[in-house]
Structure 1
Amino acid sequence: MNDMLKLAKDIIRRAQDRARAYSDRQGSEINFEVGEKVYLRVPSRSEAMKTGPCPKLFSRYCGSFPILKRIGKMAY
């Protein structure tokens, strides 16, 4: 029983390591500076941006908004 538990934990750890390595390769950090202008992504079901009868044609982004202050590493 103890060997099976160790084996299961090892398999889970290896799967997590693979997922982490894949995520690190795919992801990229984007840094913005104060004063730059950015677009905000709008959720597809947002009531605020619906214009027209066809959901496929709704705006996916709104803006451009200037960055006023950096609050955290990824928060502006």
Structure 2
Amino acid sequence: GIFEKDHALSRRFQKIDVTEPSVAETIEILKGLKSKFEEHHSVKYSASALSTAAELSAKYINDRHLPDKAIDVID
């Protein structure tokens, strides 16, 4: 990639590992995004809808990570 070819550029960055948020943390993230998605889709999301989106996406969508897969469910 680019970093392997440009050592000066690679020195300006460092790797940061970001762990996948828990279902509870994902619910909080969804709460923060709720109004934007409600406005965009002209719908209202209940608290249980956000919880269910996080819980079921964690259980059944295995090829992606939270919160991305839960966001796709409400989108």
Q: Does TM, normalized by the shorter one, top 0.5?
A: no
Structure 1 or 2: larger helix share? 2
Q: What's the TM-score, normalizing by structure 2?
A: 0.32
Q: Which of these two proteins has the greater Rg computed from alpha carbons?
A: 1
TM-score, scaled relative to structure 1 = 0.32
Larger fraction in strand: 1
